[in-house]
Structure 1
Amino acid sequence: MGTGAPPARWSPLIAEMMVSDYPRAREFWTSVLGFHIAFERPSQKLACLEHPDGAQVMVYERDGDWETGPMEPPYGRGTVVQVFVSDVRSVAARVQAAGLPFYVPLREKWRDWGDRLGGQREFLVQDPDGYLVMVAERIGERPLDQDGNIST
């Protein structure tokens, strides 16, 4: 039997992440990254987690289903899960307070969006199973230089 209720609005894309230790993963996503449990199926060791800024993710302990190949740490090779928040600095502070290493420390990054630059403050951290998570806050847009080049 589940506890809680599914989110009022489901995100159009939700990562479902197989984990090796459900309580440890749930603790990381809630205490460190700031998600809350929208609903949980304790008997399946599964939770739908939702961030106050709207991001959603599901974590569940591996049970042999849906594994398309060998599961060796770090999990999720080739995948970066992005979580957009309104205050990236506070999330980074929780990562640091938890004693977790940053994969990429907090930085400001401007990227080519075609006709303009999009900026964000971001950091990357690995969850307990090695999934790479980018936590970012959008900080604005700015034009390309007059020749259409990215200015640094």
Structure 2
Amino acid sequence: MTALPASLAFWCDLLGFRVLYDRPEQGFAAIERGGIEFMLEEYETGPSERCWDTGLREKPYGRGINFEMTVGDIAPLLERLKHAPWPIFFGPEERWYRISAAEETGVRQFLVQDPDGYLLRLSQSLGQRPLQA
């Protein structure tokens, strides 16, 4: 896993999270943004009684999963990432998803990878509307 300072720089400086509490000596930080919370933790290098590995450790981590986070407006995040410069994995796009037989919900969204390769989907709501034909 990427060193904790690099992860914190991405999550806090670029995505606007804040540190709730941390234990730098253990390579750990709990972060939050608008009610969304994540725990960042460096992998231990030696044997541990708390080994949570489910497979080989190789980047990009979390293959096949993306973490969706709803924010009020994705534009400021896109600007920060652009000026970093940090690559956008996909988007931005506007997309409507069917949620019932008569209604759909819309989002403006993009995907970005964190320093460890985890795929993050940041979206803002466009509301709901009658299902379009």
Structure 2 length-normalised TM: 0.90
Query: Which portions of structure 1, spanning 4 or more consecutive aligned residues, are displaced by more than 3 angstroms?
Result: none
1:27 and 1:75 mapped to 2: Cα distance?
18
1:81 maps to 67
Deviations 1:53-89 (A, max 9, x none): 2111111101162111101110010110111111111
Equivalent of residue 50 in structure 1, options 32, 37, 42: 32
2:97 maps to 111
1:134 maps to 121
Deviates more, 1:81-90 or 1:62-71: 62-71
1:23 maps to 5
Structure 1: gaps of 5 or more residues: 1-18, 146-150
* Secondary structure at 2:110 match in 1: strand
RMSD after superposition? 1.2
One-letter code aligned to 1:120: V
Structure 2: gaps of 5 or more residues: 46-50
1:60 and 1:78 mapped to 2: Cα distance?
20
Structure with the bigger RCO (C-alpha within 8 Å, sep 6+) is 2
1:124 and 1:60 mapped to 2: Cα distance?
22
One-letter code aligned to 1:22: L
1:91 and 1:121 mapped to 2: Cα distance?
12
* Secondary structure at 1:125 match in 2: strand
Task: Count matched residues.
Answer: 127
Indicate the percent of aligned positions where both proteins have the same amino acid: 36
Shift of 1:26: 1.0
Equivalent of residue 52 in structure 2, options 66, 71, 75: 66
2:120 and 2:17 mapped to 1: Cα distance?
13
